[in-house]
Amino acid sequence: MLNWMNPKLEVRACSGKGGHGVFARHPITEGERLAIFGGHIMRADEEPVFLANKQDFALQIDEQFVIGAKYENELDDTDFLNHSCNPNAGFKGQIFLVAMRSIEKDEEITFDYAMVLHETVGVEACEMDCLCGNSNCRGRITDNDWKIPELQRRYRGYFQWYLQEKINMILGRTDGDR
Ligand SMILES: [Zn+2]
């Protein structure tokens, strides 16, 4: 196992979204740790794609680097966490996923890809349709979404560390206030 997942969570089949998601088996309290991501440190331009639909799974931790499975047999439960435009989970640091609010039993655990994605020189831009179904759905997810001021406010303190630092610079805050 490359990753740790809170035992209150489990992978379940669900419609759309690649066919699987991570769901709460028990209620979760705000701030509770949901997952710790591990794996191989790889340059973003070396990130492998898996499964028939050529999905990539690794977690971006820097403009140039990702962490995750290098081989398909290393895919883990945490690799089935899905995006939502109205997520209930966010990042602390680079590899910790925590609950941004209390989560009820049977809710799907989601984060917003805007919290992790940044364009990488030499790597094809990431762009995908979103089918999350929330009233605030952006419809299209790109690796420039972290630049959206409304998201910078909403996810403050829950972006990947390298993105939060960039955002703090843009907003003129250097105190790392989280
Ligand atoms: Zn959406």
Q: What's the confidence (pLDDT) of residue 47?
A: 83
Per-residue pLDDT of the chain (178 residues; tens, 9 = 90+): 789 999 999 999 987 667 899 999 999 999 999 999 999 999 998 888 776 556 678 999 999 999 999 988 888 899 899 999 999 999 999 999 999 999 999 999 999 999 999 998 888 888 889 988 899 999 999 999 999 999 999 999 999 999 999 999 988 865 555 5
Name residues whose C-beta falls within 8 Å of residue 49's C-beta, 6 or more positions apart in sequence: 55, 56
CA–CA separation, 100 and 174 (whole Å) = 23
Q: How far is the CA of 175 from the centre of ligand 1 (A)?
A: 31
CA–CA separation, 73 and 124 (whole Å) = 25
CA–CA separation, 17 and 124 (whole Å) = 21
Q: How far is the CA of 56 from the centre of ligand 1 (A)?
A: 19
Q: What's the confidence (pLDDT) of residue 46?
A: 86
Q: What's the confidence (pLDDT) of residue 115?
A: 97
Q: How far is the CA of 148 from the centre of ligand 1 (A)?
A: 14
Global pTM value? 0.91
Q: How far is the CA of 65 from the centre of ligand 1 (A)?
A: 25
Q: What's the confidence (pLDDT) of residue 177?
A: 53
Q: How far is the CA of 3 from the centre of ligand 1 (A)?
A: 26
Residues pairing with 40 in the sheet? 68
Q: What's the confidence (pLDDT) of residue 175?
A: 54
CA–CA separation, 164 and 176 (whole Å) = 8
Fold of 4-170: Beta-clip-like (2.170.270)
Q: What's the confidence (pLDDT) of residue 39?
A: 95
Q: Which amino acid is at 161?
A: W
Q: How far is the CA of 128 from the centre of ligand 1 (A)?
A: 10
Largest CA distance in the chain: 45
